[in-house]
A and B are shown apart, each in its own frame.
Chain A
Amino acid sequence: MTIRDQVRTALSNVGRRKLRSALASLGVVVGTLTIVIMVSLASGVRQQINRQFESLGLDRLTVTPSGSGGRRGPGFNPFDISPRKKIITMQDVKRWKEMPGIVKVVPEINLPGSVGLDLRWNGTNQSVRMSGGEPMGGNPFQEPPQPAAGSLDLPESGGIILSQGAAQSVGVPAKDVAKLIGQNVEALLHTSRGETQSFTLRVQGVSKDRSKTIQASVANRLAMKNWWFNSTNVLEREGYDSVTIRAVDVSRASGLMQQLKDDGFQVQSLEIIMDVANRIVTAVTVMFTMIGSIALLVATIGIANTMVMAIYERTREIGILKAMGASRREIRQMFMMEAGFIGLIGGVVGLLLGWLLGLGLNQAIQIYMKYRELPVHGHFFVVTLALALGAILFATFIGLVAGLLPAQRAARLDPLEALRHE
């Protein structure tokens, strides 16, 4: 019997009892549907995570002094000045800048949270917030600010970047922000005791950010911090609060990370956060895929039962085929193929349903995101070609496994006994 004839025979036998075949493959449909939905959700979410993190920069490391409890938040903390075991000196920063594979080294000085800060322009005072230049500072699901005028690339030596919100609050409308570039503005620091100090800064750029923030250069922030602590050597004593290093690529970044850790610094990278996120997604996927696998396991039993029934009903037929010269192998293959087709049909239907459900849910999520004004685009359910092929192959495999024992039984039937059946 040729393979083509076997396929044709198996198909017509599956089609002979449509309802039973459909019911038998229903388990495969449910199992495949679950797995397709879960795996497509996982790959979609992973794509989302990767995209969001990529926009922030995976090639970046944030180095903080050891013993400082990591990066400090903006809130006031009376125990803020904890002793640092390993400080980041100017020499460190200089050395890092000369290392191979480094694109950029941005040292940071943070002002204590209790500092009062006003922006003064043209006689108007407005309380503002000082923001650092670090990439991990903001909400990771927020897109980085775009320049409205000038450059957002602040030199270390001096200068200031205003947000559009801050500029507006001191009387410069959005359309006129370009006029501010190159002008001097005043940053007024004041303590709760009423002492104030003015720092004059040249505007380098205006960002499209609507919050009222300013970003002063490191040199200016160091000067402010020295004034606050009534000192001249904060940098020598405490070092930088953090340094952001941008490497040429992710692999250089992770190599550098180990090196800096060995030097005794604390190092953070988005890659790690992303790793954790991916690991959680993977764990959840595996969990749900296992639920789908249980459905498929149950489906196996369903198919096996259907095949046992079919073979019992067709015992005489098997005897006739054997008398006509069908070999055991041909009988076995015939029933294996039937079982495989039941699995295949279930797999294809499950895949199609899963894909359609994913498309629907993608639409629903888009509408929800738009309604909530969240800047998340793209799809959460992504059926890749590998997933589609894998699902179909797996479902067929499930069918074949289910058919194995019944088909073996059919092949072993004694032709005379089979002919006497019924």
Chain B
Amino acid sequence: MGDALILSRGLTRRYSIGKTVVAALSEVELTVQRGEFTALVGPSGSGKSTLLNLIGGLDRPSAGEVSVDGLSLGKASEEQLVRYRRERVGFIFQSFNLLPTLSAVENVECPMMLAEIPRPERRQRANSLLESVGLAQRTLHKPNELSGGEKQRVAIARALANRPLLLLADEPTGNLDSKSGAAVLDLLCGLLKANGLTLIMVTHDPEVAARADRIIHLRDGAIQGIETRKNAEVSA
């Protein structure tokens, strides 16, 4: 294995609900290469989102370890995790999660503000990111003035703001109609290639999963199978 970005060993996450302990994820062994597009599929409750959150540093493993770009997320300090989320990961959510009071461009600027990038620079970069997702004309609109597809594009631009290594998308097309869903997916695939990004995407949709280099099937918190695809787009 040459250039692995993500490595997990015996990755386990248990939740206690009342007195019972539920394992959302147990003993997951996973390797993700740089530049790879991985789809996580499986029925609800299979642990897809838990795995994504662990890789994103939003949650911590109960046992085992997951490391991204050499950083062991389970052992990392709170401060390291904050920096990791800020600088190396971009999240894309099903429900967009834009800040409702900020305009599109301000939403994209937000991660850069946290990274203390000077104002003129971040405004410029936010505008060019919005341009690259095809929203050059909508930069000053508030989220409630944008369509679902547009909102998700703003969210993608925001995820790219601090030039992350890794994009984590939790059903990014789940709230979109098929047409704008497909457009968002095309955009995402284009950006991946252009920026050499690694993408892990949780999805229900087999058509969406079909675009990935690898499909990982999860069931009851464990990997059931891995489907590697010889994707024409990747090799081209």
In the complex, A222 Cα to B101 Cα: how many Å? 92
Q: Give the residues from 314 to 334 in chain A that come closer than 8 angstroms, CB to CB, to chain B.
A: 316-317, 319-328, 330
B59 in the interface, Cβ–Cβ < 8 Å?
yes
Decide if A327 touches B97 in the complex (CB within 8 Å). no
Report whether A330 and B114 are in contact in the complex, using a CB–CB cutoff of 8 Å: yes
Pick from B53, B78, B79, B91: contact of A324, CB under 8 Å: B91
Interface of A is mostly: helix
Closest to B115 in A: A325
Chain B residues in 8 Å Cβ range of A94:
none
Q: Does A195 sit at the interface, judged by CB under 8 A? A: no
Q: Is B99 an interface position by the 8 A CB rule?
A: yes
Cβ of A122 < 8 Å from any Cβ of B? no
Min Cβ gap A11→B in Å is 13
Chain A neighbourhood of B87, CB < 8 A: 325
Q: Compute how far the CA of A12 lies from the CA of B106 in the bound complex, rounded to whole angstroms.
A: 12
Give CA–CA (A405, B15) in the complex, Å.
Answer: 28
Smallest CB–CB gap between A271 and chain B, Å? Answer: 60
In the complex with contacts A5-B113, A324-B91, A317-B82 CB distance below 8 A: no
Flag whether B56 is at the interface (Cβ < 8 A): yes
Cβ contacts under 8 Å, B100 to chain A: 317
> Contact: A325 with B83, CB < 8 Å?
yes
Task: Give bound CA distance, A326 to B91, whole Å.
Answer: 13
User: Which residues of B lie under 8 Å from residue A328 when comparing CB positions?
Assistant: 78
Q: Are A324 and B110 in contact (CB under 8 A)?
A: yes
Name B33-74 residues within 8 Å CB distance of A.
Answer: 53, 56, 58-59
- A16 interface contact, C-beta 8 A: yes
Bitwise, B142-161 to A at CB < 8 A (1) or not (0) is 00000000000000001000
Does A2 lie at the interface of the complex (its beta carbon under 8 Å from any beta carbon of B)? yes
Q: Is the CB of B111 within 8 A of A325?
A: yes
Flag if A317 contacts B99 (CB, 8 Å).
Answer: yes
Whole-angstrom distance between the Cβ of A410 and the nearest chain B Cβ: 15
Q: Shortest distance in angstroms between B22's beta carbon and chain A's nearest beta carbon?
A: 15
Any chain A CB within 8 A of the CB of B138?
no
Interface size for B (C-beta < 8 A) is 27
Cβ distance A37 to chain B, nearest Cβ, rounded Å: 38
- Closest residue of B by beta carbon distance from A319: B97
Q: Is B86 an interface residue (CB 8 A)?
A: yes
Contact of B79 among A13, A326, A327 (CB under 8 A): A327
**Is B3 an interface position by the 8 A CB rule?**
no
Interface code B89-112, partner A: CB below 8 Å = 1, 0 otherwise?
A: 001010001111100000000110
The closest CB in chain A to the CB of B96 belongs to: A320
Are A323 and B99 in contact, with the CB atoms below 8 A? no
- Cβ of B204 within 8 Å of any chain A Cβ, yes or no, is no
Instruction: Tell me which residues across on chain A come within 8 A of B99, comparing CB atoms.
Output: 317, 320
Task: Given A5-B113, A324-B110, verify A415-B82 contact (CB < 8 Å).
Answer: no
Q: What distance in Å separates the Cβ of B92 from its nearest Cβ neighbour in chain A?
A: 10
B82 touches A327 (CB 8 A): yes
**Is A324 in contact with B111, judged by CB distance below 8 angstroms?**
yes
Q: Is B85 an interface residue (CB 8 A)?
A: yes
Given the interface pairs A323-B85, A325-B85, A327-B82, the reply to whether A419 lies near B101 with Cβ below 8 Å is no
Assuming the contacts A1-B114, A5-B113, asked whether A323 and B79 have C-beta atoms less than 8 A apart, the reply is no
List chain A residues, Cβ under 8 A from B58: 322-323, 415-416, 419
Question: Which A390-422 residues sit within 8 Å CB-CB of chain B?
Answer: 415-416, 419
Contact B86 A324 (CB under 8 A): yes
Q: Smallest Cβ distance from A306 to chain B, in angstroms? A: 17
Residues of B with C-beta under 8 A to A330: 114
Chain A CB within 8 A of B116 CB: yes
Chain A 69-112 against B: per-residue CB contact (8 Å), 1 yes, 0 no? 00000000000000000000000000000000000000000000
Please list the 5 inter-chain residue pairs (A to B) with the smallest Cβ-Cβ separation, ordered nearest first.
Answer: A325-B86, A325-B85, A327-B82, A324-B111, A320-B97
A to B CB contacts below 8 Å, 9 in the list: A2-B116, A317-B100, A322-B58, A322-B85, A323-B58, A324-B86, A324-B110, A325-B82, A416-B53
